[in-house]
């Protein structure tokens, strides 16, 4: 039993009500919600939200009826982990025990269906506590990420003996891409945060990892989605 989940909080300071805002012909949430419903591997779909309109929209499409999320999980300070734990418990009360909890971030509509398939395959083959979408970081803390000291002078964030004079010499670091996660249900029940267990990366191209958090992000994703749709129409 694979439960597919989307979290879609009503409030957003960067882009007002971004989770239900129209982008390239449909509400933002539907770019992820449709992928869950279209996946042959996903057995049940649930949307955790404090927004009645989003909730009713998801139910009409076939999502589980778990009700609106509790108030304490609908604030700016509410973490993803608590939302996941609540959604898993509420879903399993209706479906029975899950074998995997698949979360798609509502604000990352550039994900492809193959990313879901590949992330689930990695979860099955490597048997970690969690698979987390990542991409190669554009900046590296061993080389070109800097921070000020007490005097205001800049230093490399993570200096190595002898220094690093070329990016290729720096240790590999990944950027946490808020897109696609696969979590072992028993780990989700017992842990208190993402990184308490064995978390491994599912690597995605950077161009599919843009998370909408600002008006600029929205414009960028809309541009990329528009180009993709044009290519598909002429393909």
Task: State the DSSP H helix or E strand holding residue 86, giving kind and residue range, or none if neither.
Answer: helix 80-95
Q: Are residues 76 and 187 in the same domain?
A: yes
Contacting residues for 186 by C-beta, under 8 A, at least 6 apart: none
The Cα–Cα gap between 226 and 108 comes to: 15
Q: Report yes or no: 177 and 133 within 8 Å, Cβ to Cβ.
A: yes
The Cα–Cα gap between 37 and 29 comes to: 12
Does position 170 have pLDDT exceeding 90, yes or no? Answer: no
Where in the sequence is the domain holding 154, given as residue range(s)?
138-172
Burial class (CB in 10 A: 0-12, 13-18, 19+), 188: buried
What pLDDT shows up at residue 132? 97
What pLDDT shows up at residue 72? 86
pLDDT band at 14 (very low <50, low <70, confident <90, very high): low
Q: Are residues 190 and 168 in the same domain?
A: no
Q: Are residues 32 and 105 in the same domain?
A: yes
Q: Are residues 131 and 142 in the same domain?
A: no
Does position 59 have pLDDT exceeding 70, yes or no? Answer: yes
- The domain that holds 64 is classified in CATH as 3.90.550.10
Q: Are residues 69 and 159 in the same domain?
A: no
Q: How many domains does the chain have?
A: 2
103 forms bridges with which residues in the sheet?
Answer: 5, 181
Percentage, residues of the chain above pLDDT 90: 78
Q: Are residues 98 and 154 in the same domain?
A: no
Q: 157, 172, 187: which is the final residue of a domain? A: 172
pLDDT band at 10 (very low <50, low <70, confident <90, very high): confident
Q: 150, 172, 194: which is the final residue of a domain? A: 172
Q: Are residues 187 and 229 in the same domain?
A: yes
Q: Report yes or no: 24 and 229 within 8 Å, Cβ to Cβ.
A: yes
Q: Are residues 23 and 97 in the same domain?
A: yes
Q: Are residues 84 and 161 in the same domain?
A: no
Task: State the DSSP H helix or E strand holding residue 37, giving kind and residue range, or none if neither.
Answer: helix 28-38
What pLDDT shows up at residue 109? 95
Q: Are residues 103 and 27 in the same domain?
A: yes
- Structure confidence by residue, pLDDT tens digits, 20-43: 999 999 999 999 999 999 999 999
Q: Are residues 146 and 195 in the same domain?
A: no
Going by C-alpha positions, the residue among 111, 76, 107, 104 that lies closest to residue 214 is 107
Could you tell me the two tokens for 146?
């800097």
Mean pLDDT rounded to a whole number for the chain: 92
- Structure confidence by residue, pLDDT tens digits, 146-163: 999 999 999 999 998 877
pLDDT band at 17 (very low <50, low <70, confident <90, very high): confident
156 forms bridges with which residues in the sheet?
Answer: 146
What pLDDT shows up at residue 13? 67
Q: Are residues 27 and 143 in the same domain?
A: no
What pLDDT shows up at residue 78? 72
Question: Does the model's pTM come out above 0.75?
Answer: yes
Does position 92 have pLDDT exceeding 70, yes or no? Answer: yes
Average pLDDT (166-174) is 84
Phi, psi (degrees; rounded to nearest 5) at 19: -65, -20
Could you tell me the two tokens for 104?
């798609």
Average pLDDT (49-57) is 94
User: Could you tell me the CA-to-CA distances from 198 to 18, 188, 202 in Å, in that order?
Assistant: 32, 12, 13
């Amino acid at each position: 039993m694979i439960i597919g989940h989307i979290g879609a909080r009503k409030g957003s300071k960067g882009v007002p009500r971004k989770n239900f805002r129209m982008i390239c012909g449909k509400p933002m949430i539907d770019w992820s919600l449709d992928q869950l419903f279209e996946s042959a591997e996903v057995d049940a779909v649930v949307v955790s939200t404090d927004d009645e309109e989003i909730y009713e929209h998801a139910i009409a499409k076939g999502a589980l009826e778990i009700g609106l999320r509790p108030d304490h999980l609908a604030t700016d300070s509410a973490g993803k982990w608590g939302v996941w734990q609540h959604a898993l418990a509420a879903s399993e009360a209706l479906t029975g025990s899950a074998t995997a909890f698949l979360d798609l971030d509502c604000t990352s509509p550039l994900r492809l269906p193959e990313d879901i398939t590949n992330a689930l395959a990695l979860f099955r083959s490597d048997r970690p506590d969690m698979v987390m979408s990542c991409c190669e970081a554009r900046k590296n803390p061993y080389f070109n990420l800097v921070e000020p000291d007490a005097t205001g002078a800049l230093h490399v964030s993570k200096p190595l003996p002898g220094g690093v004079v070329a990016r290729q010499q720096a240790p590999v670091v990944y950027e946490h891409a808020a897109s696609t996660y696969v979590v072992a249900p028993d780990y989700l029940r017992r842990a208190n945060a993402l990184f308490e267990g064995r978390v491994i990366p599912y690597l995605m191209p950077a161009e599919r990892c843009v998370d909408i958090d600002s008006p600029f992000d929205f414009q960028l994703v809309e541009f990329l989605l528009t180009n993709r749709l044009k290519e598909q129409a002429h393909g």
